[in-house]
Amino acid sequence: MKLKLDIDPDIVAMMAAEVAAGERAVSAAIREAGTGLKAAWRAQITGAGLGARLARTIRSQQFPKGKPSLSAAALVWSNAPVIVGAHDAGPLIRSKNGFWLAIPTPAAGKSTRGGPITPGEWERRTGLRLRFVYRRRGPSLLVAEGRLNTKGRAVASRSKTGRGVVTAPIFLLVPQVKLPKRLDLARDAQRAHDAVPGADRGELGGGASRMITRGRRRDRRRARHDGDGAAPRSRPAPRWLSVPCREIRPSA
């Protein structure tokens, strides 16, 4: 006696269709979470008054690229990690040499390289010598004898009689500066994580920290006081969003 068994519909085809539907569902959920987190971070940066240019450094990318996957993940990062990380952490900034932080006043002007000018560069540019003035209350000063030009910057005086010469404060000296915390990136990251189906069993944080090194060197130089103090080098951790495939229940 011979028996013949036919299964209709094809179980293999049904399982393949379910797997494909699950891949599309997982990828769509991760893509929405990644783009939502990018938009939230950008809105938070502009809302803190840090400008649209810094907000546009927030980027996102989905992996794997160009195809759905049950192991899809999204990475949200900043191309200016030093600046964004400093406003997110609110660190205490000290001089790397253990002395004073020199904060330029409007009379000091700006550096020819962009960003804040240092006392050494100011003396080389103007030819004037800075003099230390200690104050018991308030920050101490670095002052110079000269005149103020039409832009309010201290320059060397050409007067032989001393007319118009003033003692102008060029730098404020403080032992440390507390940068106010203006961002809370972890809050939005947690919200994006919780919004993903099955996120209670997923992973957030960690991951490929090497990818965050896309921050441009120019931004790192802007966040550094050359010779007089250094901004913190902390970087915001990349936010990975992933969920196990079995937690996704795609519709039939």
The confidence score (pLDDT) of residue 178 equals 86
- Decide if pLDDT at 217 tops 90: no
Give the model confidence (pLDDT) of 35-93 as tens digits.
Answer: 999 999 999 999 999 999 999 999 998 888 888 888 888 889 999 998 999 899 888 88
Residue 198 confidence class, pLDDT cut points 50, 70, 90: low
Cα 126 versus chain centre, distance:
34
d(CA 155, CA 152): 9
Domain count, the chain: 2
Residue 16 confidence class, pLDDT cut points 50, 70, 90: confident
Same domain, residue pair 140 and 154: yes
The confidence score (pLDDT) of residue 244 equals 28
Evaluate whether residue 213 is within a structural domain.
yes
Domain end: 174, 201, 218, which one? 174
Give the model confidence (pLDDT) of 34-44 as tens digits.
Answer: 899 999 999 99
Mean predicted lDDT score pLDDT of the chain: 76
Same domain, residue pair 56 and 71: yes
CA angle centred on 136, ends 132 and 137, rounded to 5°: 110
Evaluate whether residue 123 is within a structural domain.
yes
The mean per-residue pLDDT over the stretch 143-150 comes to 87
Same domain, residue pair 84 and 140: no
- Decide if pLDDT at 231 tops 50: no
Q: What tokens were used for 61?
A: 């990318």
Same domain, residue pair 242 and 190: yes
Give the model confidence (pLDDT) of 159-187 as tens digits.
Answer: 777 777 888 999 999 888 888 899 999 99
Same domain, residue pair 37 and 83: yes
Range of the domain at 24: 11-91+180-247
Q: With contact defined as beta carbons under 8 Å apart, do 245 and 26 qualify?
A: yes
118-127, 134-143, 144-153, 202-211: least confident range: 202-211
User: Where does the chain show beta strands of DSSP type E?
Assistant: 58-63, 73-78, 92-94, 101-104, 131-133, 140-148, 154-155, 166-174, 176-178, 203-204, 224-225, 229-230, 239-242
Same domain, residue pair 84 and 106: no
More confident residue, 122 or 221: 122
Residue 199 confidence class, pLDDT cut points 50, 70, 90: low
Domain end: 124, 145, 174, which one? 174
Same domain, residue pair 134 and 116: yes
Same domain, residue pair 85 and 105: no
Share of the chain above pLDDT 90, in %: 23
CA angle centred on 199, ends 197 and 205, rounded to 5°: 140
The confidence score (pLDDT) of residue 245 equals 28
Share of the chain above pLDDT 70, in %: 76
